[in-house]
A and B are shown apart, each in its own frame.
Chain A
Amino acid sequence: MKTAVIVFPGSNCDRDLAVAIETITGTAPVMLWHGETELPAGLGLIALPGGFSYGDYLRSGAMSARSSIMRAVVDAAGRGVPVLGICNGFQVLTEAGLLPGALMRNAGINFVCRDVALTVDNSQSIFTSRYDAGEAITIPVAHHDGNYFADDATLDRIEGEGRVAFRYAEAVNGSARNIAGVISDGGNVLGMMPHPERMIEAAHGGDDGRRLFEGLLEAVA
């Protein structure tokens, strides 16, 4: 599977994401600088990594959402290319309008980094096909702005359409309806605050993140 990882100034999980993708798909992703204007042809996945793009000095993800590469990413998403945004990548996707809602400051005010219990809400997506619906998994979070917000009508709609990929099974950041990951109406864009790339081998303390990439590989290949 041909993949790309977008690198914004201040991205800091780009290497970790690339390692996870290469480990699981067998092929290293293309690393694409934010200033590029075009994507390589034939991508099976575009991944937006975690980090503090532009320092999060404006709203998290707001600056990166307006970088030149994001125009190409939005176009590709419209054509159905799978797009995965993790942590800061999720924030960029909401700021770019590819996903509904917004990520606000954690309800507890502090940055939070720890393993959290998640529930897989929907196992029918290209991102979650290797999980069982209702399955309990553990994946770490590391964020300051992970408090998912959308108005009730939007929340009702994405829940009704089965677009909640993951929910927190414990109190983490105050997210509306405990939503940890959201899928686009087209089904090909996932944004999530937890870091699956940090949970892919025994040395990480578990490998619950692995099946997300394995499922994608299967769905796209």
Chain B
Amino acid sequence: MSGITPQIVAEHGFSPEEYERVLHAMGREPNMTELGIFSVMWSEHCSYKSSKIHLMKLPTTGPQVICGPGENAGVVDIGDGQAAIFKMESHNHPSYIEPYQGAATGVGGILRDVFTMGARPIANMNALRFGRPDHPKMRHLISGVVRGIGGYGNCVGVPTVGGEVNFHPAYDGNILVNAMTVGIADTDKIFYSAASGVGNSIVYVGSKTGRDGIHGATMASADFGEDSEAKRPTVQVGDPFTEKLLIEACLELMASDAIVAIQDMGAAGLTSSSVEMASKGGVGLLLNMDAVPQRETGMTAYEMMLSESQERMLMVLKPGREDFAEAIFRKWDLDFAVIGEVTDTGRMVLTHHGETVCDIPLAPLADDAPLYDRPAASKEEYKAWANVQPLGDIPESTDIAADLLKLMASPDIASRRWIWEQYDHMVGADTVQRPGGDAAVVRVHGSQKGIAISTDCTPRYCYADPYEGGKQAIAECYRNLSAVGSTPLAVTNCLNFANPQRPEIMAQLTGCLEGMGDACRALDFPIVSGNVSLYNESKATGGGSAILPTPAIGGIGLLADVDNMATVAFKAEGEAIWLIGGEGTHLGQSIWLREIQGQEHGSAPSVDLAKERANGDLVRSLVKSGTLTAVHDVADGGLTVTIAEMALAGGIGAELSITLNTATAFGEDQARYVVTAAVGTDIPGATQIGMTGGQSVTGIPLADLRAAHEGFFPALMGSDAALA
């Protein structure tokens, strides 16, 4: 009677085999509502069906870990009865279709993942990938994404303290917008999502449900076609004002003992939140669709269950606490509705207009979800497919200074000031290291402790060598956190890849994860939360073009005392400049090779994890002892770019005594730092390479370096410097 045709099955993203599993799980043909629920729960976005068996190999434990992957966000101990709660998540496809709202709701979603666990959000970060700067669509996308991130974060009053941005033609038709939130909670006030207590009320709070975002999770699980514009209605609209109220109301209620379990409604909205809460608690649910607060009239159960309206939460309350909770949400002008109860049936039953419109056994919905061990290309097959040319003979740089000036103005190295000045990065008055350094540092309110945060990934390395690239993403994050003096605690990852049904893409995924796993183990830097975004490829720019493999990493570190923190800026003239980790040798996949020679050739730099750890330990101990006056890790562009950035930040030049050739100037060997210290200080195992002083670097005046470095974004986006 429900008339589920093969076409309807296909429209819900099921293969014929997957639909067979649905029939088996149900024991009968599903109706439309039931099919819709299976569709979103078994989408790649919610089920991790292509990545799960590989994710399970990642290290997720450690003495600092309170809660690893599987909850809304990861939780680590930061001492004094406090925990940091954090996660990074993608909002790629919506941001390409509608950049402002896509990025804004990405921020809103990740904020909810963090405060739903009881944490007050203290910082937002992001990791963005755009296509060619001169792509006709790119200014629109950059502008929309940056305004969307700022528009949401600024309004909710959570500082956006940093991030990273890359440009590459591989993202022309499929940009990446990854947003991260870090929050702080008391360890005895952490909230989880497992529903329990038969008869307990299930409560809906926040905004009303509309028809927006239906099938967002399914959209995020398919390739982009030519018709991406037509999918604009599947993008949700954010309301940061309501989110701000929701944060305050939830935290106010969380200070009491009224909540049994709580979960935000993210991708797949009411469906995934209710199913996950029930599955984790091993209970059943009875929900009355008539009680769901609705923004529009005539909504069906199907629409309500699949809506991705924003700023909504679901919770299970202790018996008798409904009135107490309702008063708090009413004070904050938010909807509050008891929409059902916990049952012992093990089934999700929905009623609407007095009829049962859905009756799904929850165990098979969770347990029978498809799980794929998709074929992956071998290392040799991948190499042949990726077609990365060997480095071969490359000419020496004929003018190191001119090349440096060019690199400072290049898209991947140029100053991101145009972006971060659109983010309120100071609200909270605890941002003690602002954007532009190696890691942002936010003070834990009311204490001297600081949380250092960095997002990292070098996609071109990951493409050339997925294993080394995966290692490098973790190692660079570890290095950035160490550079400010913090002890790296744990990471979240946001795994952006193309279509996993292609063996070469699976080789990227498995290679990167293997590298990440090895690096995390070697550095005691476990992964406590994450997100997978697959099918990031677009036919819009001409034929199945896949993004570069982009396993973005968001890491946090702990500083015992923010007064004891390093920054990149040179502090005084006449200080010694030291290089830790040895001279540069590796030019394969370097920014210099790409920007100056126009080549993306050679192998990615390999990461010596033992060296990475030893050098990180050294830098941290030297920061702690107050020996160093400035620290900056050596990354994109190599040694000269590192020194130029330190000089610009401090307004003091450098006189270098090291012999500069192409490799020492621009090589991107790993595990390296440039530090400064008072003359006469010995830095064990390091090489002194010069002195601070003057107003130039490699002979280029700081004013010229600054003009090059600061010029790129205003020139691309239209400057706001000229206003009166």
User: Bound complex: CA of A15 vs CA of B157, how far in Å?
Assistant: 11
* Cβ B154 vs Cβ A55 within 8 A: no
| Residue in contact with A12 in the complex, picked from B242, B244, B422, CB distance below 8 Å | B244
Given contacts A9-B245, A55-B155, A55-B240, whether A142 and B422 have CB atoms under 8 Å apart is no
* Cβ A57 vs Cβ B425 within 8 A: no
* Cβ B424 vs Cβ A113 within 8 A: yes
Given contacts A51-B157, A142-B426, A204-B429, whether A10 and B245 have CB atoms under 8 Å apart is yes
A16 nearest CB neighbor, chain B only: B429
* Cβ B724 vs Cβ A174 within 8 A: yes
Q: Which residues of B contact A52 (CB under 8 A)?
A: 154-155, 157, 240-241, 244
* Cβ B423 vs Cβ A203 within 8 A: no
User: Bound complex: CA of A12 vs CA of B241, how far in Å?
Assistant: 10
A99: CB under 8 A from chain B?
Answer: no
A37-79 contacts to B (CB < 8 Å): 50-52, 54-57
Given contacts A12-B157, A111-B150, A114-B421, whether A142 and B723 have CB atoms under 8 Å apart is no
Cβ contacts A to B, 21 pairs, < 8 Å: A9-B245, A9-B332, A9-B333, A10-B245, A12-B156, A12-B427, A13-B427, A16-B427, A50-B427, A52-B154, A52-B241, A55-B239, A110-B421, A111-B154, A111-B422, A111-B424, A171-B724, A173-B723, A174-B724, A198-B426, A198-B429
Most buried by B among A12, A106, A142: A12
0 or 1 for each of A163-205: is its CB under 8 Å from B? (1 = yes): 0000000010110000000000000000000010110100111
B422-450 contacts to A (CB < 8 Å): 422-429, 432, 434, 443
* Cβ A195 vs Cβ B155 within 8 A: no
B435 nearest CB neighbor, chain A only: A113
* Cβ A110 vs Cβ B333 within 8 A: no
B562: CB under 8 A from chain A?
Answer: yes
0 or 1 for each of A94-124: is its CB under 8 Å from B? (1 = yes): 0000000000001111111110000000000
Secondary structure class of chain B's binding surface, majority of residues: loop
User: Bound complex: CA of A200 vs CA of B240, how far in Å?
Assistant: 28
User: Bound complex: CA of A88 vs CA of B150, how far in Å?
Assistant: 16
B332 nearest CB neighbor, chain A only: A9
Given contacts A9-B332, A110-B147, whether A174 and B723 have CB atoms under 8 Å apart is yes
Q: Shortest beta-carbon distance, B393 to chain A, in Å? A: 46
B563: CB under 8 A from chain A?
Answer: yes
User: Bound complex: CA of A13 vs CA of B434, how far in Å?
Assistant: 18
Q: Which residues of B contact A12 (CB under 8 A)?
A: 155-157, 244, 427
0 or 1 for each of A1-43: is its CB under 8 Å from B? (1 = yes): 0000000011011011001100000000000000000000000
* Cβ A171 vs Cβ B155 within 8 A: no
* Cβ A108 vs Cβ B154 within 8 A: no
* Cβ B429 vs Cβ A110 within 8 A: no
B720: CB under 8 A from chain A?
Answer: yes
A11 nearest CB neighbor, chain B only: B157
A147 nearest CB neighbor, chain B only: B723
Given contacts A52-B244, A107-B724, whether A113 and B155 have CB atoms under 8 Å apart is no
0 or 1 for each of B233-274: is its CB under 8 Å from A? (1 = yes): 000000111101100000000000000000000000000000
B721: CB under 8 A from chain A?
Answer: yes
Q: Shortest beta-carbon distance, A42 to chain B, in Å? A: 27
User: Bound complex: CA of A99 vs CA of B428, how far in Å?
Assistant: 27
Apart from the given pairs A112-B720, A113-B425, 6 other A-B contacts in the complex at a CB distance below 8 Å: A19-B429, A52-B241, A110-B720, A113-B424, A198-B426, A203-B563
B667-724 contacts to A (CB < 8 Å): 720-724
| Residue in contact with A108 in the complex, picked from B156, B563, B723, CB distance below 8 Å | B723
* Cβ B241 vs Cβ A142 within 8 A: no
Q: Shortest beta-carbon distance, A134 to chain B, in Å? A: 22
Q: Shortest beta-carbon distance, B336 to chain A, in Å? A: 16
A140: CB under 8 A from chain B?
Answer: yes
| Residue in contact with B421 in the complex, picked from A50, A55, A113, A198, CB distance below 8 Å | A113
Q: Which residues of A contact B443 (CB under 8 A)?
A: 203
Q: Shortest beta-carbon distance, B640 to chain A, in Å? A: 27
Q: Which residues of A contact B721 (CB under 8 A)?
A: 171
User: Bound complex: CA of A83 vs CA of B333, how far in Å?
Assistant: 27
User: Bound complex: CA of A197 vs CA of B427, how far in Å?
Assistant: 10
| Residue in contact with A13 in the complex, picked from B151, B157, B422, B425, CB distance below 8 Å | B157
